[in-house]
Structure 1
Amino acid sequence: MNITFHSILVGLLITMSSALRCSAALDGNNSVISFQVGVILDLETQLGYRAFNCLTIAHSDFYSRHPNYKTRLVLHARDSKRNVIDAAASGLELLKYLKVDAVIGPQKSTQANFLMNLGERAQVPIVSFSATSPSLQPPKFFVQTAQTDDTEVGVIAAIVKAFQWNQVVIIYEDSEYGNGIVPYLSNALQDINAHVAYKSLIPVSADEDFTLKELYKMMTMQTRIFIAHLSHSLGAKFFLKAKAIGMMSEGYVWIITSGLMDFLPSMNSHIVEAMQGVLGVKPLIPKTSHLESLRLQKTIFDPVNPGYKSADMVSIFDVWAYDTMWALAMAAEQVGSHYPEASYQDTTADLNSSDPFNLPISKTGPKLLKAILTTRFKGLSGMFHLVGGILYPTSYKILNVVGNGEKEVAVWTQAHGFKRVRHNTSDKFDSTPKEEFNSNIIWPGKSRVLPRGWEVPVRGKRLKVAVAVRPGFEEYLNVMKDLRTGAVHFSGYYIEVFQSVMAALPYAVPYDFFHFEKPDGSCA
Structure 2
Amino acid sequence: MAIPEAVARFWLFFLLLISSFFYHSYGDGYTKVTRIGALIDVNSRVGKEQQIAMEIGAKKYNNTSKAHKLALHFRNASEEAFRAVSLAEQLIERQKVEVIIGMHTWQEAALVAEVGSQAQVPIISFVSPAITPPLTQKRWPYLVRLANNVTAHVKCIVDIVNAFSWQRVVVVYEEDGYAGGDYGMLSLLSEALQDIGSLIEHRLALPPISFLPDVGELINEELNKLVNRT
Q: Same fold (TM over 0.5)?
A: yes
Match of 1:79 among 76, 89, 96: 76
Query: Normalized against structure 1, the TM-score is what?
Result: 0.33
CA–CA distance in 2 between the matches of 1:31 and 1:208? 55
Deviation, structure 1 residue 153: 0.7
The structure-2 alpha-carbon separation of the partners of 1:38 and 1:200, relative to structure 1 and needing over 3 Å to count, comes to: same
How far apart are residue 90 of structure 1 and its match? 1.8
| Counterpart selection for 1:193 from 191, 194, 197 | 197
AA aligned to 1:37 is: I
User: CA-to-partner distance for each residue in 1:464-496, whole Å, 9 max, x for gaps?
Assistant: xxxxxxxxxxxxxxxxxxxxxxxxxxxxxxxxx
Q: Report if aligned partners of 1:173, 1:179 keep a CA contact under 8 Å in 2.
A: no
Q: Give the equivalent residue in structure 2 for 1:491.
A: none
Identify which of 212, 225, 245 aligns with 2:220. Answer: 212
Aligned to 2:15: none
C-alpha displacement at 1:126, in angstroms?
0.6
Candidates 103, 108, 111, aligned match of 1:106: 103
Tell me how far apart the structure 1 counterparts of residues 132 and 67 of structure 2 sit (CA, whole Å): 34
Deviations 1:195-214 (A, max 9, x none): 11111222322655543343
The amino acid that maps onto 2:33 is: S
Query: Shift in Å at residue 41 of structure 1?
Result: 2.2
CA distance in 1, matches of 2:101, 2:87: 12
Runs of 4+ in 1 over 6 A off after TM superposition: none
Superimposed CA distance per residue, residues 331-362 of structure 1 (whole angstroms, 9 cap, x where no aligned partner): xxxxxxxxxxxxxxxxxxxxxxxxxxxxxxxx
Look up the match of 1:56. 55
Aligned residues: 193
Structure 1 residue 150, shift from structure 2 partner: 4.3
SS in structure 2 of the partner of residue 160 of structure 1: helix
Other-structure match for 1:160: 161
Preserved contact between residue 35 and residue 100 of structure 1 (Cα < 8 Å): yes
In 1: Cα distance, 2:62 partner to 2:192 partner: 43
Given that 1:150 and 1:184 are in contact with CA atoms closer than 8 Å, whether structure 2 keeps it comes out as: yes
Matched residue type, 2:187 = P
**What are structure 1's unaligned runs of at least 5 residues?**
1-14, 16-28, 223-524
Asked whether the equivalents of residues 62 and 70 of structure 2 are also in contact (C-alpha less than 8 Å), the reply is: no
1:173 aligns with 2:174: yes
Amino acid at match of 2:104: Q
Which amino acid in structure 1 is aligned with residue 36 of structure 2? Answer: V
Partner of 1:134: 130
CA distance in 2, matches of 1:122, 1:208: 39
Tell me if structure 1 keeps the 8 A contact 2:40–2:75.
Answer: yes
The residue that corresponds to 1:43 in the other structure is: 42
- Aligned-partner Cα distance in 1 for 2:216–2:97: 44
AA aligned opposite 1:128? S
Alignment partners' CA distance in 1, 2:152 and 2:107? 19
Which residue type is aligned with residue 134 of structure 1? A
Structure 2 letter corresponding to 1:92: E
1:263-308 CA deviation, whole Å, 9 max, x = no partner?
xxxxxxxxxxxxxxxxxxxxxxxxxxxxxxxxxxxxxxxxxxxxxx
1:121-152 deviations in Å (ceiling 9; x for gaps) = 222211122x3443576332212222154441
Pair 1:207–1:86, CA change in 2 (3 A): closer
Instruction: Compute the displacement of 1:35 (Å).
Output: 1.5
> In 2, distance between residues paired with 1:150 and 1:63?
39
Report the counterpart of residue 145 of structure 1 in structure 2: 146
* Identical aligned residues as a percent: 25
The one-letter code of the counterpart of 2:76 is: D
- SS where residue 196 of structure 1 aligns? strand
- How far apart, CA to CA, are the structure 1 residues paired with 2:104 and 2:216? 27
Say if 1:120 and 1:140, in contact at 8 Å, map to a contact too: yes
Correspondence for 1:118: 115
Distance 1:166 1:122, change over 3 A: same
Task: State the SS of the aligned residue for 2:204.
Answer: strand
Structure 2 counterpart of 1:124, which letter? Answer: V
Residue identity in the other structure for 2:195: D
Counterpart contact for 1:116–1:142, Cα < 8 Å? yes
- Pairwise mapping of residues 122-521 of structure 1 onto structure 2 (< 5 A)? 122-129=119-126, 131-134=127-130, 138=136, 139-147=140-148, 149-175=150-176, 178-203=182-207, 204=209, 205=212, 210-219=218-227
Output the aligned Cα RMSD.
3.3
